Copies of this chain bind each other. A is one copy, B any other.
Amino acid sequence: MNSEEFRRHGHDVIDWIADYLDNAERYPVMSRSKPGEIKALIPDSAPEIGEPMDTILEDFRRDILPGVTHWNHPRFFAYFPANNSAPSILGEMLSAGLGVNSMLWQTSPAATELEEKVMDWLGEMIGLPDGFHGVIQDTASTATMGALVCAREKATAFAVNAAGPAGLAGAGPLRIYASREAHSSVLKGAKIAGFGAENVVLVGIDENRAMDPADLEAKITTDLADGLIPCCVVATVGTTGCTAIDPLAAIGPVAKKHGLWFHVDAALAGSAAILPEMRWILDGVEQADSLVFNPHKWLLTNFDCSAYFVRDPEHLERTMSIHPEYLKTGRDREVNNYMDWGIPLGRRFRALKLWFVLRSYGAVRLREIIAGHIAFAREFAGWIDSAPDWERLAPVPVNTVCFRWKPAGMDEATLNTANAKLVDRVNADGTIYLTHTRLDDVFTIRLAVGQRATEREHVVTAWETLQKIAGEI
């Protein structure tokens, strides 16, 4: 494809994206594709001879698009959002065009230095105290695993890093503490980093499903008595199930008392801390060793862009850094080489899209958007509270409402199957898309308000759709 063809197809793709963003509402939110349907449309081998881009784009629209679940849809209320926005897409385009690898400062100084600055911007926006250093990771799962590895090395004075299990010789297993509402990435990270799933200790929760610091203390005490090695506590600010807010200010002193690494997983809710009235969710964060939150979830930045902050980069660098001759440069003592701050060696120029988003929207507008989502979620919670056949199942500290349909006279087992059926039918209908969890044994519908384009009218439609389809069951 020559330069003129790229220009022509590029303009076409831009126009298509613009139309798509304007009209995402016209699609069913969840794809109606059946397993194997898309696969059947794709040949079994790559073509020998190149095909015209017009054909490829036509195939994209005809064959691929029906298999897309529309995360851009303003009536997307499932999981947590994965946002994008026009400025972020432009930043991502430039990053793709430049195609730089920012593994080392020297391999693109601007990529490293812009990352340092925009991460400082973000830290200030959510009210992090001075002394945290930021780096962009792909996901909160990866960042949390990185925190677990640092915790492991801190607890063993880098002995596991050096010698593996032999570094633990004579000592018991290393223990990780997280509430039983914590994200599955804690367990996954514990498995990958060699802690073992059995060494993830699930701490009890209070009536709001937030971690109970007294139970944390009790679990640590028991482990110490059993000769185990308390290593790390992961507090969650905004659990995936119901956005419970673990009390950092009360957890921090327990972590410090026992010398644990204190990691904060604020993947979704961290973005809410850009609002002064929501900053309480991070009260006590000054005691943390590390924190992650995802601008790609709720700060209008394209996936992937996960903001990881650490107090002391030394643990990261000592754990992750490898300096073979072929990666040495004359600048290594003067600069950050971010390859030493995470698992991958190669790194995209992700700071560019974040810079575009923060500058194009500005902090005031971003606060308005986040505040709007929170207000819509609370209004929806109010509708549930006022409706006789519906029940709210958790507080709504941020943007996610947990609830169920509860017609009179149904027993618990029937309620569970009825609500599962309701979610399936609602999603098949296509007007809205939402997902579920279980709180204890209760099948729970989640409505997460956080898509960039979601306005009050879309939440009204969600409520109407739920009532209408429940009425048909």
**B109–A33 contact, CB under 8 A?**
yes
CB contact between A324 and one of B78, B141, B240 (< 8 Å): that residue: B240
Q: Which of A247-255, A256-264, A339-347, A405-413 contacts B (4 or more CB under 8 A)?
A: A339-347
Are B71 and A101 in contact, with the CB atoms below 8 A? yes
With A46-B125, A49-B364, A302-B96 already in contact, the answer to whether A110 and B67 are too (CB < 8 A) is yes
Give Cα A56–Cα B362 distance, bound, in whole angstroms: 12
Residues of B within 8 A of A48 (CB): 362-364
Q: Are A72 and B88 in contact (CB under 8 A)?
A: no
Copies in the complex: 2
State the CA gap A31–B343 with chains docked (Å).
Answer: 25
Report whether A93 and B194 are in contact in the complex, using a CB–CB cutoff of 8 Å.
no
Q: Pick the residue among B50, B326, B331 that contacts A437 (CB under 8 A).
A: B326
Q: Which residue of B lies closest to A318 (CB)?
A: B191
Q: In the complex, what distance in Å separates the CA atom of A197 from the CA atom of B436?
A: 43
Please give the distance in Å from A182's CB to the nearest CB on chain B: 10
A31 and B142 within 8 A (CB): no
Which listed segment binds B: A3-11, A206-214, A281-289, A390-398?
Answer: A3-11
- Cβ of A82 within 8 Å of any chain B Cβ, yes or no, is yes
Contact of A139 with B by CB under 8 A: yes
Q: Is there an interface contact between B5 and A10, defined as CB atoms closer than 8 Å?
A: no
At the interface with chain B, which of A115-123, A381-389, A460-468? A115-123
Interface residues of A, dominant DSSP: helix
Residues of B within 8 A of A50 (CB): 359-362, 364-365
Q: Chain B residues near A246 (CB, 8 Å)?
A: none
Query: Which residues does chain B contribute within 8 Å of A122, judged by CB atoms?
Result: 46
Question: Which one of A155-163, A307-315, A370-378 contacts B?
Answer: A155-163
Query: Which residues from 320 to 377 on chain A have a C-beta closer than 8 Å to any C-beta of chain B?
Result: 320, 322-327, 330-331, 334-335, 343-346, 348, 352, 355-356, 358-365
Q: Are B13 and A18 in contact (CB under 8 A)?
A: no
Contacts A79-B107, A79-B326 given; does A94 touch B17 at CB 8 Å: yes
Whether A90 lies near B9 (C-beta < 8 A) is yes
**Would B98 and A164 count as touching, CB distance under 8 A?**
no
Give every chain B residue within 8 A of A93 (Cβ-Cβ): 10, 13-14, 17, 89, 92-93, 96
Q: How large is the interface on A (under 10, 10 to 19, 20 to 34, 35 or more residues)?
A: 35 or more
Whether B162 and A196, one on each chain, are in contact in the complex, defined by CB atoms closer than 8 angstroms, is yes
Instruction: Decide: A196 and B68 in contact? CB cutoff 8 A.
Output: no
CA distance A113 to B34 in the complex (A): 11
Check B18–A110 contact: CB distance below 8 A: no
**Proximity bits, A7-33, B CB within 8 Å = 1, else 0:** 101110111111011100000001101
Instruction: Enumerate chain B residues within 8 angstroms of A197, measured Cβ to Cβ.
Output: 161-163
B101 touches A303 (CB 8 A): yes
Q: Given A39-B117, A64-B110, 16 more contacts at CB 8 Å?
A: A13-B90, A21-B97, A46-B359, A50-B364, A65-B110, A68-B98, A69-B100, A82-B99, A82-B100, A138-B138, A138-B344, A139-B344, A139-B345, A141-B343, A164-B173, A184-B322
14 A/B residue pairs, CB under 8 Å, sorted by A:
A1-B85, A4-B18, A17-B93, A38-B110, A50-B365, A53-B360, A69-B106, A141-B345, A161-B196, A162-B198, A165-B196, A166-B173, A304-B346, A343-B343
